[in-house]
Amino acid sequence: MESDRKKAVVLSSGGLDSTTAMAVAKNEGFDIFSLSFFYGQRHHHELKAAERVAAFFNVKKHLVIHTDLNKIGGSALTDDIDVPKSDDSVIKNEGIPVTYVPARNTIFLAYGMAWAEVLNASDIFIGVNAVDYSGYPDCRKEFIDAFEKMARLATKTGVEGTTALSIRTPLISLTKAEIIKLGTWLGVDYQITHSCYDPSEKGLACGRCDSCILRRKGFMVAGVKDPTPYISK
Amino acid sequence: MESDRKKAVVLSSGGLDSTTAMAVAKNEGFDIFSLSFFYGQRHHHELKAAERVAAFFNVKKHLVIHTDLNKIGGSALTDDIDVPKSDDSVIKNEGIPVTYVPARNTIFLAYGMAWAEVLNASDIFIGVNAVDYSGYPDCRKEFIDAFEKMARLATKTGVEGTTALSIRTPLISLTKAEIIKLGTWLGVDYQITHSCYDPSEKGLACGRCDSCILRRKGFMVAGVKDPTPYISK
């Protein structure tokens, strides 16, 4: 028996943003289908976090797609380029950061679209954010709108006119502090999430990379206690 | 030293259509970067064909992306559904065929877009065809146009305004016979290509599936000798 409840595919990195996006979907009453990717990223610890998050939200199914995106290259997150630390100039939000992975959100959303079609899900949630990641072209509203339009033409449902797929970006115009406040209000336990681009072997956050700094600052500004044990204080 | 020649990413399945699209790109003077996918499809023989095609056109690089698209399911090409034969009704171009893989072209084009960005390539060639595959939503011009628009917003080049990526579909309005005539004129050796959805273990074409029938009929109508040895005459 197919459930009558509405279904959402939620792209989950195990990080702070996607976990908050999942909390929003849950709060709207969706059955959640969480989708993660193993793509040769250095921080495979995020996959463990994504599993913890899936369990926390009691998702209907958690799917991990393996793909060797790293063969394409072009990013510090999959290549042998050093991940920038806080003392480097690249992190200061000038232009497009070196941690940008070409077409990553497009590829991830395309898989989400495939799964949504099979599940007959009406919504895909993605935790993109245009405030803190203003340098990433595929975090902007114009991109998301164009993807949604394309997706509606790309799928069976688009042709047969049954369900019009919506790409949902509940965090797109929030600051990190606002995201943390929203998630805290929705009951997210941020201790289970992972943000660091350059963790230790055991998965401890470095505290100094782009992503750690945004996270730490976010908790500070939000006035919420940060549960993350960082290597660098 | 970077070559001054223009670069194109060509999506290559090793089949008749994508090989002809590659011939068009070659004829226009592009340096070719061919991109294939191993996604749990039954007909892995197409990957061997894609290698033969890459060698035939002397491509700059041939890349095979592995991804477990089959985990998502929803198609006779990746699931355990029987591939339809010519005596089944599903093949008669009524609605969307069961061999349709959800979002496949979107996913493949998204990877193509990633590679194009890294290579600074201006064009992506895809051998989609709206005549013989009218039931596939992602083979239509409306979809390709929407993808191109999205792609220009999704990438660095789109933001920085350097190269506007073009999605090239030289076969979109051609019949199979016209594709074969075009490719023959451009010197394609179709013997190296593979079209069958349901080949023998050694890779021989069945002669009876949707794809084989379109191919056989195409050669017949084009008046070109079909070099393919089929199991079923």
Within a domain: residue B231?
no
Measured between alpha carbons, how far is A145 from B141 in angstroms, rounded to an integer? 19
Q: What is the mean pLDDT of residues B161-187?
A: 91
| More confident of the two residues B25 and A102 | B25
Record: contact A102-B156, CB cut-off 8 A? yes
Q: What is the pLDDT of residue A187?
A: 97
Within a domain: residue B205?
yes
| More confident of the two residues B152 and B162 | B152
Within a domain: residue B100?
yes
- For chain B, what is the domain count? 1
Burial label, B110 (beta-carbon count in 10 A; 0-12, 13-18, 19+):
buried
Q: How much is the mean pLDDT over chain B?
A: 84
Q: How many CB pairs under 8 A join A and B?
A: 147
Within a domain: residue A227?
no
Q: What is the pLDDT of residue B74?
A: 59
Measured between alpha carbons, how far is A8 from B230 in angstroms, rounded to an integer? 45
Q: What is the pLDDT of residue B158?
A: 56
Provide Rg for chain B, Cα atoms. Answer: 17
Q: Which helix (H) or strand (E) holds A166?
A: strand A166-168
User: Does the pLDDT value for residue B41 go beyond 90?
Assistant: no
User: Does the pLDDT value for residue B231 go beyond 80?
Assistant: yes
A154: contact with B, CB 8 A cutoff: yes
> The domain containing residue B21 runs over which residues?
7-222
Q: What is the mean pLDDT of residues B5-31?
A: 96
Give the residues of chain A that fall short of pLDDT 70.
Answer: 1-4, 41-43, 73-101, 132-134, 156-163
Task: Determine the distance in angstroms separating the CA of B142 from the nearest CA of chain A, rounded to an integer.
Answer: 7
Taking Cα atoms as reference points, which of A46, A50, A52 lies closest to residue A77? A46
Buried b (16+ CB within 10 A) or exposed e, B116-129: bbbbebbbbbbbbb
| More confident of the two residues A186 and B74 | A186
Task: Determine the distance in angstroms separating the CA of A103 from the nearest CA of chain B, rounded to an integer.
Answer: 5
Using CA coordinates, name the residue in chain A closest to B117: A102
Task: Determine the distance in angstroms separating the CA of A233 from the nearest CA of chain B, rounded to an integer.
Answer: 34
Residue A231 tokens read as 């290597």
CB atoms within 10 A of CB A115: 23
Q: What is the pLDDT of residue A160?
A: 57
Q: What is the pLDDT of residue B93?
A: 42
Measured between alpha carbons, how far is B99 from B84 in angstroms, rounded to an integer? 8
Name the residue facing A66 among B68, B110, B149 (closest C-beta). B68
Within a domain: residue B227?
no
> Side by side, which strands form the sheet with A31-38?
A61-66, A31-38, A7-11, A123-125, A166-168
User: Does the pLDDT value for residue B81 go beyond 50?
Assistant: no
User: Does the pLDDT value for residue B151 go beyond 50?
Assistant: yes
Q: What is the pLDDT of residue A104?
A: 87
Q: What is the mean pLDDT of residues B185-196?
A: 94
B128: contact with A, CB 8 A cutoff: no
Within a domain: residue A1?
no
Q: What is the pLDDT of residue A50?
A: 95
Residues of B in Cβ contact (< 8 Å) with A154 = 103, 105-106, 137-138, 143, 146-147
Measured between alpha carbons, how far is B16 from B34 in angstroms, rounded to an integer? 15
User: Does the pLDDT value for residue B88 go beyond 50?
Assistant: no
Name the residue facing B71 among A63, A68, A146 (closest C-beta). A63
| More confident of the two residues B143 and B133 | B143
Q: What is the pLDDT of residue A44?
A: 76
Within a domain: residue A233?
no
Residue A183 tokens read as 């998630």
Provide Rg for chain A, Cα atoms. Answer: 17
Q: What is the pLDDT of residue B155?
A: 77
Record: contact A106-B117, CB cut-off 8 A? no
Over the stretch A50-75, which tens digit does the pLDDT of each residue have? 999 999 999 999 999 988 887 886 55
Evaluate if pTM is beyond 0.95.
no
Q: What ipTM did this prediction achieve?
A: 0.85
- The CATH number given to whatever domain includes residue A213 is 3.40.50.620
Within a domain: residue A232?
no
Over the stretch B193-216, which tens digit does the pLDDT of each residue have? 998 888 888 889 999 988 899 899
